Chains A and B, each alone.
Chain A
Amino acid sequence: MKSKNPMKKYLFLRRFIAWALFILLLVSFHRLDIFHKVIQYLPKIQFGQSMAGFFSQGALSASLIFLSLALLTVIFGRFFCGFICPLGAFMDLTIFIGSKIKPAPFSFKPNTFYRLIIPALLLLAFWLGLAFPYNYFEPYSLLVSGHGLLLIIIILALLKGRVFCDVLCPPGLLLKLLSGSGLFGLKFKQNSCLSCGACQRVCPTSCLNSSAKSLDRGRCLLCLECAAVCPNGSMTYGLITRPPAGRRHFLKLASAGALAAGAYLTSPELRVRTFGQAPPAPILPPGALSLAHLNAHCSLCHTCVSACPNGAIQPSHSLVPVLTAKPLIEPYQGFCQYDCLICGQVCPTGALRPLSLEAKRLTRLGLAQLNRPECLVIKNRTSCGACAELCPTGSVRMAPGPSGQDEPTMNTDFCIGCGACQKACPVRPIAAIVVAGLTIQQTAKAPLTLETPDLSLSEDFPF
């Protein structure tokens, strides 16, 4: 009887899709050289990431993905949470393994207002420009940045199921509102259900009430665990038939829409006005335009951090709110490769704009400054020139200087602040040449070109 339940195969299908995406994500982060194409698309299809892109008026593709996912959620329910979300898959796996040791301990909990407080506050903060709390809880960022919250999530998953998706996940709140009175969903077969309670013991979001034969669709993640466990197939997925929606429901939807539109229009400007420019001078990755732009658009998914082939982009450890966890260039780790465009290409939110090679080569991230007394050539009178060697624009050159020998000589008109000189300088812990970042990126002067013909030797063999 049990094995004939047709919903079982849908559960396996769902698990297969969700877990495969999760594993793909893990693998792609460890083997970027093979999977860098994949990693471009994984964050882009995330609801939370595309939502950040949409509300910060980032890339058009992010907005389109966000709107499509939102529309699909209204029609089909929170399929994103069940089938796509990698953190959801991670919790699923945790619960799955936990249930092999001890059967799932879940039970029905009624929906309450308190459940939406935290995600609502996170969304509000995000709207005001404080992106990092949002991003600590945005499932994709959370998983990718892998901070300590993951441990709490494992414990929560084992004890309370996917409670995270309901009471903490900020994009989850939006999905909850969108799916609450959607067109399709899971439903009880009222006449065959025996109210045995099997479904509510496996429901990881506690949204099923077996005795009342009712289901809170806002919280239902379409994980299909309940339908697969039902002994007589009384849990089915289909069109929800109900009395026509009242005026009240329409008003609710309309006000939610108005709120979203208002948020969309006001968000970027409001953020800059709220938090303004940061005091220190970080080196922003190319295409960030300005700290204000980065702050408004970056969802801290750290895809650029993982994708940077030189390891130049690092999550900031700064405690200044607008900088915390922001992807910044850290020249001691690596410099921004002159002909590389990857970060702008992988950024899912448009925080780092994709640049043309010509534009990238002129994008000034900061300005290099030489600390003459610390320079080895000047201090030790040895030949070095590592900075001039690496400089792609000719801003630092070895030329006769006050020290009486060839020393680094700066012409910052051409400097793009890529940090190659700082990385190459052998002086540590503080290099003798360092880049000071710019909060608003500039355009450097194009490097000089020489069109004079090649010289020739005065004799055939000068030796």
Chain B
Amino acid sequence: MYRRSFIKTLVGGAALLGLGQALGRGPGLTAALAQDYPDLVAIKGADITVMFDQALTALGGLGRFVTKGQKVLIKPNMGWAVEPRRAANTSPELLAHLVKRVKELGASKISVFDNTCDNWKSAYSTSGLEEAASKAGALVAPANSEKYFQKITIPGQSKLGQTAYHELYLEADVIINLPVLKHHGGAKMTAALKNLMGAIWDRSDLHWGGLDQCIPELMLYKKPNLNIVEAQRVMLNGGPRGYGDSQYLAANMLLASADPVAVDAASYRLLAESGIREPGYIAQAASLGLGQSDLSLIKVQRLTV
């Protein structure tokens, strides 16, 4: 009897171990199944909604990331009370389009929020994003009070230790990171990695700990499933808010990838020509295993429409 139960336990344990291994390698497994798809798609030359649709088709469709009944969080950049033409926030047109596409896939809940820098009501309305997203059918939630945030211990050895994430970030089954690419005075660049600073409550911890080290740590607990970087009109100085005399780059591009490090590394190349220094957080994120910063090692698809 003892031997039998021992063997049973052994077999069960081995099975569990195997399952755990398989699950642990989840992303690897998905990658193997999806080996025909590129890791990163960069598309340029068309209307933002057209570029979005084509980029996602190239990536294997939005259905690869969102399935029916899931709770989806879209995290745009809407931290600033400035009008859309200043390109300090994500384009309302793109956000509305993404909400529409996610809705078509049958998501049970689509939420949008940002812990803004300017007064949240001004930022939500002046950016045009609140109106665009709610018209398209998303729940645009406030993030202006600590009560919406829950403290989480970041796994592993982190400089931050703990940080409080928005409850919608924590409850989401799928997170779509939707930043606008722009210059950033402190962090050098805002794109996928930096955008998560609007998903947490207390940003001053990151300023204390050093932005380059702390920004990647925000993705250690829960990583966005898809990163879409809007790079239509890219702010080259005076970011992140942008001044009246900010210079822009007409890149008219959109980048999409499940890998936040790869998409940031590619995005940075658009800023590099203007002499902006490379943000230290890209290499730091790669060293934390969040993604690949060397674009020669991944499959990049470049499309011109």
* Pair B265/A463 contact, Cβ less than 8 Å: yes
Residues of chain A with a CB closer than 8 A to B249's CB? 454-457
* Pair B42/A461 contact, Cβ less than 8 Å: yes
* Pair B250/A460 contact, Cβ less than 8 Å: no
Residues of chain A with a CB closer than 8 A to B118's CB? 337-338, 390
A449 to B: closest C-beta gap in Å: 4
Question: How far is B250's CA from A398's CA once the two chains are assembled, in angstroms?
Answer: 23
Residues of chain B with a CB closer than 8 A to A406's CB? 185, 277
Residues of chain B with a CB closer than 8 A to A223's CB? none
Question: How far is B186's CA from A340's CA once the two chains are assembled, in angstroms?
Answer: 26
* Pair A385/B184 contact, Cβ less than 8 Å: yes
Residues of chain B with a CB closer than 8 A to A458's CB? 273
B295 at the interface (CB under 8 A from A): yes
* Pair B44/A461 contact, Cβ less than 8 Å: yes
* Pair A340/B210 contact, Cβ less than 8 Å: no
Which residue of chain B has its CB nearest to the CB of A453? B250
B140 to A: closest C-beta gap in Å: 15
Q: Count residues of chain A with CB under 8 A from any CB of chain B.
A: 40
* Pair A426/B204 contact, Cβ less than 8 Å: yes
A382 at the interface (CB under 8 A from B): yes
* Pair B247/A337 contact, Cβ less than 8 Å: no
Which residue of chain B has its CB nearest to the CB of A380? B210
Residues of chain B with a CB closer than 8 A to A373's CB? none
Which bucket holds chain B's interface residue count? 35 or more
Main secondary structure of the interface of A (DSSP, over half): loop
Which residues of chain B (251-277) have a CB below 8 Å from chain A?
251, 265-266, 269-270, 272-274, 277
* Pair A388/B185 contact, Cβ less than 8 Å: yes
B158 at the interface (CB under 8 A from A): no
Question: How far is B187's CA from A424's CA once the two chains are assembled, in angstroms?
Answer: 15
* Pair B186/A383 contact, Cβ less than 8 Å: yes
B103 at the interface (CB under 8 A from A): no
B148 at the interface (CB under 8 A from A): no
* Pair B207/A426 contact, Cβ less than 8 Å: yes
Other-chain residue from A376, A388, A463 in contact with B269 (beta carbon distance below 8 A): A463
Given that A391-B241, A460-B44 are contacting pairs, would A450 and B187 also be in contact in the complex, using a CB cutoff of 8 Å?
Answer: no
B64 at the interface (CB under 8 A from A): no
Residues 379-394 of chain A, each 1 if its beta carbon lies under 8 Å from chain B, else 0 = 0101111101111111
Chain B residues proximal to chain A, CB less than 8 Å? 42, 44, 81, 117-119, 121-122, 126, 184-188, 203-205, 207-212, 233, 236, 238, 240-241, 243-251, 265-266, 269-270, 272-274, 277, 280, 295, 300, 302, 304
Which 6 residue pairs across A and B have the least CB separation, nearest first?
A385-B186, A394-B243, A398-B185, A382-B210, A426-B204, A448-B245
Chain A residues proximal to chain B, CB less than 8 Å? 33, 309-310, 337-340, 376, 380, 382-386, 388-394, 397-398, 406, 424, 426, 447-450, 452, 454-458, 460-463
Can you sample 30 A-B contacts with CB below 8 Å? A309-B119, A309-B121, A338-B81, A376-B207, A383-B188, A383-B210, A383-B212, A383-B280, A384-B211, A385-B186, A386-B186, A386-B203, A389-B240, A390-B117, A390-B118, A394-B244, A394-B245, A397-B243, A426-B205, A449-B244, A450-B246, A450-B247, A454-B249, A455-B247, A455-B250, A460-B304, A461-B302, A462-B270, A462-B272, A462-B273
